Amino acid sequence: MNDFETLAARVDGTVIRPGDDGYDGERVGYQLAGPHRPELIVAAVSASDVRAAVEYAGAHGLPVAVQATGHGMPADATGGLLISTRRMTGLSVDAGSRTAWVEAGVRWAEVVQEAARHGLAPLNGSYPGVGAVSYTLGGGVGLLARRYGNAADRVRRVEVVTADAALRTVTPDTDPDLFWALRGGRGNFGVVTGMEIELVPVDTIYGGGLYFDTDLAAEALRTFREWSAGVPDEMTSSIALMPFPDVPQIPEVFRGRHVAHIRIAYAGDPAEGERLVAPLRALGPRLIDTVETMPYAKSATIHNEPDQPMAYRSSHVLLNELSAESVQAVLDLTGPGAPERAIVEVRHLGGALAAAPAIPSAVGHRGAQYLIGVLTKLEPSETPGAPEPVHGAFADVMKPWATGGRHLNFLFGDNATEEQVRAAYEPEDYRRLAELKAVYDPRDMFRLTHHIRPAAS
């Protein structure tokens, strides 16, 4: 048997090469712009498969990429070995210790439902189809973020296959450096096969979406700016301004309109939540208003993001405050009636996100109060193509207010450059990550990711 046949015989999952059935289905995830073109895919079903794949890659000098659902891949990774984890779906909840064991391919939707059976909730994000492990390794700014903080800070144990193909159980006691680096450093230190995460005692929230029509959209953003600066940590919220084309595929209520969608997740007394939301409702009539007391199991309806894979480009900056001038600048660039068409999203950070974690992690820029970004849809293609002007213009107009930092989880596709990845960390943390990369991945096997280069020895 040659090495390839040995690998194929060793894994319980599937080994796929270009031209084989299932190659495209396995490599293409949610983000359709610039999917990976690996020379080999191991569709893993277990940690043992992941070990075999990493060992093979090491022996053949291949870089390794990892993909769960493909929402957050950097663009255009060519060659190498792709480990697809989507079949690693083991999930269990321990209600007594308020924890869940989550394998690498589990999506938030499953964790939310399983945790809800015990009156608990994970620190999941806005979209239920995103992989729980990748999201958490990137920091994880969730629906309850201002109340409970970064998802990465609530990890208790990680199982990871490192570049030497060893399967390690990593805790703050066994490997404090690696435990720190994995939580925030994401795919740079190995392939995480599963992790134990904390759950929080939330079964009901006051939440949903307020949708305002074109004539109120700019005012909704201005009001959100003032309102969000004064809300308590139990309130996590965001706003999106979305220009909808006038085409039959769009629901009639949104068709041809520039809609403002304010998203609310209040983890406290519903009556207080209703009182807090009142100034937003006072803006005027809503196209749709779904904000009410809801089981957390229905929290995916808050952002109500589309579940069709698509090609997109996004860019964002972090802000220490959301000034009236910065809001006006973004409205002038791409608000209702402005020349550029893009989705604008503002997420309110701060609260518990800013607190020092019980066990330090590599997650950066905890002091940022807002994340503001623009997103444009692209034509699905093998290469993302030239950046549209709105992204460059957005970076320019936000310069006076931007901190210079980025959030790793919001660097997708062709925006996930090494420079942008570096900007996701505090400078001293980035140096430490690069030094640890040289220890745990000296040959830079895990480079087809949000890449941190090993420090030169």
Secondary structure in 3-state letters for the chain: CCHHHHHHHHCCCEEECCCCCCHHHHHCCCECECCCECCEEEECCCHHHHHHHHHHHHHHCCCEEEECCCCCCECCCECCEEEECCCCCCEEEECCCCEEEEECCCEHHHHHHHHHCCCCECCCCCCCCCEHHHHHHCCCCCCCHHHHCCHHHHEEEEEEECCCCCEEEECCCCCHHHHHHHHHHHHHCCEEEEEEEECECCCEEEEEEEEECHHHHHHHHHHHHHHHCCCCCCEEEEEEEEECCCCCCCCCCCCCCEEEEEEEEECCCHHHHHHHHHHHHCCCCCCEECCEEEEHHHCHHHHCCCCCCEEEEEEEEEECCCCHHHHHHHHHHHCCCCCCCCEEEEEECCHHHHCCCCCCCCCCCCCCCEEEEEEEEECCECCCCCCCHHHHHHHHHHCCCECCCCCHHHCCECCCCHHHHHCCCCHHHHHHHHHHHHHHCCCCCCCCCCCCCCCCC
The alpha-carbon radius of gyration of the chain (Å, integer) is 22
Distance CA 343, CA 333 (A): 11
Q: How far is the CB of 86 from ligand FAD (least distance, A)?
A: 8
Residue 120 or residue 141: which is nearer to ligand FAD going by CB?
141
Distances in Å between the Cα of 195 and the Cα atoms of 32, 93, 139, 192, 363 are 28, 12, 14, 7, 17
Q: How far is the CB of 67 from ligand FAD (least distance, A)?
A: 4
Stretch that binds ligand FAD, among 110-118, 126-134, 334-342, 423-431 (CB under 6 A): 126-134
Which residue in the set 123, 130, 264, 372 belongs to the binding site for ligand FAD (CB under 6 A)?
130
Question: Is 420 among the residues that bind ligand FAD (CB under 6 A)?
Answer: no
Q: How far is the CB of 427 from ligand FAD (least distance, A)?
A: 22
Residue 65 or residue 329: which is nearer to ligand FAD going by CB?
65
Residue 294 or residue 311: which is nearer to ligand FAD going by CB?
311
How many C-beta atoms lie closer than 10 Å to residue 307's C-beta? 12
Non-local CB neighbours of 245 within 8 Å, separated by 6+ positions: 255, 256
Stretch that binds ligand FAD, among 72-80, 202-210, 368-376, 429-437 (CB under 6 A): 72-80
Question: Is 207 among the residues that bind ligand FAD (CB under 6 A)?
Answer: no
Question: Is 91 among the residues that bind ligand FAD (CB under 6 A)?
Answer: no
Binding mask 300-339 for ligand FAD (x = CB under 6 A): -----x----------------------------------
Which residue in the set 8, 27, 29, 35 belongs to the binding site for ligand FAD (CB under 6 A)?
29
Residue 165 or residue 331: which is nearer to ligand FAD going by CB?
165
Stretch that binds ligand FAD, among 70-78, 247-255, 348-356, 363-371 (CB under 6 A): 70-78
Question: Is 378 among the residues that bind ligand FAD (CB under 6 A)?
Answer: no
Residue 104 or residue 368: which is nearer to ligand FAD going by CB?
104
Q: How far is the CB of 353 from ligand FAD (least distance, A)?
A: 10
Residue 218 or residue 423: which is nearer to ligand FAD going by CB?
423
Q: How far is the CB of 360 from ligand FAD (least distance, A)?
A: 19
Residue 104 or residue 205: which is nearer to ligand FAD going by CB?
104
Question: Is 432 among the residues that bind ligand FAD (CB under 6 A)?
Answer: no
Stretch that binds ligand FAD, among 6-14, 130-138, 240-248, 354-362 (CB under 6 A): 130-138
Question: Is 69 among the residues that bind ligand FAD (CB under 6 A)?
Answer: yes
Residue 43 or residue 283: which is nearer to ligand FAD going by CB?
43
Q: How far is the CB of 215 from ligand FAD (least distance, A)?
A: 27
Q: Are 109 and 289 within 8 A, CB to CB?
A: no
User: Which residues in the 397-416 window bind ligand FAD by CB under 6 A?
Assistant: 409
Q: How far is the CB of 341 from ligand FAD (least distance, A)?
A: 19
Size of the site for ligand FAD (CB under 6 A): 32
User: Which residues in the 165-204 window bind ligand FAD by CB under 6 A?
Assistant: 186-187, 191-192
Question: Is 72 among the residues that bind ligand FAD (CB under 6 A)?
Answer: yes
Q: Are 211 and 258 within 8 A, CB to CB?
A: no
Non-local CB neighbours of 237 within 8 Å, separated by 6+ positions: 224, 228, 231, 262, 263, 264, 265, 348
Question: Is 452 among the residues that bind ligand FAD (CB under 6 A)?
Answer: no
Residue 191 or residue 217: which is nearer to ligand FAD going by CB?
191
Residue 199 or residue 331: which is nearer to ligand FAD going by CB?
199
Residues engaged in binding ligand FAD (CB under 6 A)? 29, 66-74, 85, 104, 125-127, 130-131, 133-135, 137-141, 186-187, 191-192, 305, 409, 449
